[in-house]
Amino acid sequence: VLDWQSGYQSAEAPIPPMPVLDTFGFNFMGRLAHELLRLSDPLRFDFWPQRAAWHDLTEARARGLNQATLRSVRRAVGVPGLEGVNRILGFMAARYVRVMAQRIEQATTTLAAREALEVFRESLEPITGTPTRGATHYAEAINLLS
């Protein structure tokens, strides 16, 4: 929400803008969404369905995103904050899909690229569940398309 869009911003007592600390988010909610994504990054973490949690691939005991983390976030920002994080993540996902679709469209102009994507599609089957070591498959596909 920009300053002029906020219902809490007032001309008499304006809320001062905070300096941007990093490139991960313009505001607190953006940085929170980025941190949640970092804790479930498939290049660093693996999802364990038995524990409903993400665990670090390099350290046996390190945990990523789990139910306790989400409970802490809910206590900190409440349901309205979770709705805001949900919207931010939705916008990020939609943008990512749009950019990937454009890249795939540009990259599949050759027969070799189309054949490589067919091999990638076959490596993800069956499509009824989460692929094992999906990060490896996706990294290979990105290398093929770049």
Sketch the domain layout of the chain as residue ranges: 3-106, 108-146
Distance, in Å, from the CA atom of 63 to the CA atom of 118, rounded to the nearest integer, reads 35
- Give CA separation, 146 vs 11, 29, 86, 92, 103, in Å: 49, 31, 30, 21, 8
Specify which residues 63 forms β-bridges with.
Answer: 55
| Close Cβ partners of 107 (under 8 Å, ≥ 6 residues apart) | 113, 144, 145, 146
Handedness of CA 34, 67, 129, 41 (dihedral sign): positive
Residue 79 is predicted with a pLDDT of 93
Residue 18 is predicted with a pLDDT of 66
Task: Kindly give the confidence (pLDDT) of every residue in the chain, 146 residues in length, as a single tens digit, with 9 standing for 90 and above.
Answer: 666 677 777 777 776 666 766 677 778 888 899 999 999 888 888 888 888 888 888 876 678 899 999 999 999 999 999 999 999 999 989 998 899 888 878 877 888 878 877 887 887 777 777 767 767 777 777 776 66
Residue 128 is predicted with a pLDDT of 75
Residue 82 is predicted with a pLDDT of 93
Residue 36 is predicted with a pLDDT of 93
